[in-house]
Amino acid sequence: MTPQFWLWLGFAGMAAGAAAILFMAKRRTPAEEADGIIHGIVPIIAACSYFAMATGQGSLVLPAGPDAAEAARQFYFARYIDWTFTTPLLLVGLSRTAMHSGMRRPAVVWGLIGSDLIMIVTALAFGLSDVAAIKWTWFAISCGGFLAVFYGIFVQLREENASERADVRKAFVRNAVFLTGVWSAYPIVLLVGQDGLGILSPTAALAVIAILDLTAKVVYGIMATLETTRTVDRDLKDGSVAATPLRRAA
């Protein structure tokens, strides 16, 4: 399979996933509507990124480095633009799950987003760098940002989540473990891909990242949307929140 196959598969999968999530998402409460929009827009952004890469507008040719077997490599910068927007949205959605009864600590969410952006921007610098010492310094900083995101999720968000009812706590743990488990594979792929050690072929690296992207954005988006629906079902059943009728223009 060619690199183009994986790029067009990513585009088609993201577009179909966005449609599925927006169709599944309910709007019985403002919170439920917001979560549906968050998880629906994530694959829309990713679909645009994959379209750009598939049509040649989302990549550029860079030197492969003095130790590489080939003289040049294709650098897909569009994926970093995608991640800059989509990963903060996913963290906002996860934070809303953790603090279902109310966003009590917005500073924690901002800290998560800040750490996440440091991780993405420094990963971009890693991919753009040709000098080994600079490249691997950026990679180490990016991994540090990733550890800060982990801390925010499993320490700070979990502290807030502890005061929620049992089904909300379980939903948060499921979402957090699934999302961070998928995200943990990205630095490994970047490490062994063409932007790092060059162990994976360009096509193999594209295939793995496309699968990871579809899992983190579409599969997780569907999972999180269903979790929100179940949680709101419980809210409506026990009367902790009232359904909000949709407003229509007069």
What are the residue ranges of helices labelled H in 184-242? Answer: 185-192, 202-214, 220-238
The pTM of the full predicted model, rounded to 2 decimals, is 0.90
CA distance 212 to 189: 10
Instruction: Compute the average pLDDT of residues 69-79.
Output: 83
pLDDT of residue 69: 54
Q: How many CB atoms lie within 10 A of CB 242?
A: 10
The ranges assigned to domains in the chain are 3-60+73-238
Model confidence over 136-174: pLDDT tens digits? 999 999 999 999 999 999 999 999 999 999 999 999 999
Task: Kindly indicate the confidence band of residue 245, based on its pLDDT and cuts at 50, 70 and 90.
Answer: low
pLDDT at site 10: 96
For 84-132, write each residue's pLDDT tens digit. 999 999 999 999 999 988 888 899 999 999 999 999 999 999 999 988 9
Helix (H, G, I), strand (E, B) or coil at 64: coil
Widest distance between CA atoms in the chain = 67
pLDDT single digits (tens) 180-239:
999 999 999 999 998 888 899 999 999 999 999 999 999 999 999 999 999 888 888 877
Model confidence pLDDT, tens digit, residues 166-177: 999 999 999 999
Sequence-separated (6 or more) residues with CB below 8 Å from residue 169: 161, 162
Give the DSSP H/E element, type plus range, for residue 73.
strand 72-75
What's the pLDDT at 240? 66
Q: β-strand 72-75 against 60-63: which pairing, if any?
A: antiparallel
B/e letters for 201-226, b = 16+ CB within 10 Å, e = fewer, are ebebbbbbbbbbbbbbbbebbbbbbe
Question: Cβ distance 246 to 27 under 8 Å?
Answer: yes
pLDDT at 235: 81
* Sign of the dihedral defined by the CA atoms of residues 47, 230, 228, 36, in that order: positive
Q: Which pair of tokens denotes residue 27?
A: 């709007």
Q: For 7-43, what is each residue's pLDDT tens digit? A: 999 999 999 999 999 999 888 888 889 999 999 999 9
- Confidence (pLDDT) at 242: 55
Model pLDDT, residue 73 = 84
Q: Tokens in use for 60? A: 């550029």
CATH top-level class of 3-60+73-238: mainly alpha
Q: Is the pLDDT of residue 250 over 60?
A: no
Convert the pLDDT of each residue in 36-68 to its tens digit: 999 999 999 999 999 999 999 999 998 765 455
Query: What local confidence, expressed as pLDDT, does residue 241 receive?
Result: 64
150: number of Cβ within 10 Å: 16
Cα–Cα distance between 235 and 232 in angstroms, integer? 5
Is 50 exceeded by the pLDDT of residue 249? no
H-run or E-run covering 16: helix 3-24
Give the whole-angstrom CA distance, residue 85 versus residue 51: 16
In which band, very low, low, confident or very high, does the pLDDT at 248 lie, cut at 50, 70 and 90? very low
pLDDT (0 to 100) of residue 6: 95
